[in-house]
């Protein structure tokens, strides 16, 4: 099966490439003005709502966590890979990073003012992504913003060699924006902005900005 053992494979793969990954993506935001604009808008939305902790879920080497912190957001990072977390702590010693899975976030209900998943749901199989988005909603405050980016396409792609030429075994799931928006709507989010773009981050990427609906709100 395509999804069999995906969580273990993802963790092991990113443990293997963690140092090379950090080196290759460290300066990507310098080349991506549209992505920076979305991150800035997200920071403004969090601050306008009264601030609070923001989770960068699937934070990798911590570059997005650190960028949002420079924008004045109280951001912390969570990643499945212990080696990635170790690199993030090394590169950004003043910030908080912890090991965890977006399929089962160890965060209290409504404990975050915002949540970012920056190209980090790309390894989640279709039959698991609804559970992930439900986790995102659970930990967000009502009205809290969610910033989500992903690769756009129709078919998954198996990656067997990754950053620095190291072996990996991960599927990259490419999805259409309307499909992602539908899953988010079903999980209790309202889509506020949607964009596709080509940049150093992705040959064709998608960005969605959404908010957690209150419990009483309807889709």
Model confidence pLDDT, tens digit, residues 1-53: 455 688 899 999 989 989 988 988 888 999 999 999 999 999 999 999 888 99
Choose the weakest-confidence range: 62-66, 128-132, 157-161, 184-188. Answer: 157-161
At 161 the pLDDT is 78
Q: Residue 116 pairs with which residues in a beta bridge?
A: 56, 147
Asked whether residue 167 carries a pLDDT value surpassing 90, the answer given is: no
Q: Which 3 state secondary structure label does DSSP give 79?
A: strand
Average pLDDT over residues 153-171: 82
Residue range 1-10, pLDDT digits in tens? 455 688 899 9
Question: In which residue are the tokens 């160890």 written?
Answer: 106
At 3 the pLDDT is 55
- Against a cut of 0.95, is the pTM above it? no
d(CA 153, CA 177): 9
CATH of domain 6-212: 3.40.50.150
At 5 the pLDDT is 87
Asked whether residue 59 carries a pLDDT value surpassing 60, the answer given is: yes
Among residues 60, 3, 18, the alpha carbon closest in space to that of 168 is found at: 18
How many other CB atoms sit within 10 Å of the CB of residue 154? 8
Q: What is the DSSP letter of 148?
A: E
Average pLDDT over residues 191-196: 95
Give 151-177 as a DSSP string: EB-SS-EEEEE-GGG-EEEEEE--B-H
Asked whether residue 57 carries a pLDDT value surpassing 90, the answer given is: yes
Contact yes or no for 60/84 (Cβ under 8 A):
yes
Contact yes or no for 35/29 (Cβ under 8 A):
yes
Q: In this structure, is the dihedral angle defined by the CA atoms of residues 162, 167, 170 and 171, taken in order, positive or negative?
A: positive
Q: What is the DSSP letter of 31?
A: G
Q: What is the DSSP letter of 190?
A: E
d(CA 197, CA 199): 7
Where does residue 38 rank: exposed (0-12), middle (13-18), buried (19+ CB within 10 A)? Answer: buried
d(CA 53, CA 152): 29
Contact yes or no for 136/120 (Cβ under 8 A):
no
Question: In which residue are the tokens 């963790």 written?
Answer: 11
Residue 24: φ, ψ to 5°: -80, -30
């Amino acid at each position: 099966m395509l999804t069999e053992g995906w969580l273990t494979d993802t963790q092991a793969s990113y443990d293997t490439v963690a140092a090379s990954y950090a080196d290759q993506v460290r300066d990507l935001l310098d080349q991506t003005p549209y992505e920076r604009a979305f991150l800035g808008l997200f920071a403004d939305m969090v601050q306008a709502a009264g601030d609070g902790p923001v989770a960068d879920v699937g934070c990798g080497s911590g570059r997005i966590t650190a960028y949002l912190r420079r924008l004045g957001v109280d951001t912390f990072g969570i990643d499945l890979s212990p080696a990635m977390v170790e690199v993030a702590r090394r590169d950004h010693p003043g910030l908080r990073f912890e090991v965890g899975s977006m399929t089962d976030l160890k965060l209290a209900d409504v404990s975050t003012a915002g949540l970012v998943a920056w190209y980090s749901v790309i390894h989640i199989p279709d039959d698991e992504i609804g559970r992930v988005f439900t986790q995102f909603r659970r930990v967000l405050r009502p009205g809290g913003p969610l910033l989500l980016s992903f690769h756009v396409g129709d078919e998954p792609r198996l990656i067997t060699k990754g950053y620095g030429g190291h072996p990996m075994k991960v599927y990259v799931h490419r999805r259409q924006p309307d499909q992602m928006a539908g899953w988010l709507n079903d999980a209790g989010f309202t889509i506020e902005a949607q964009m596709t773009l080509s940049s150093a981050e992705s040959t064709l990427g998608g960005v969605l900005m959404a908010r957690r609906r209150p419990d009483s709100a309807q889709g």
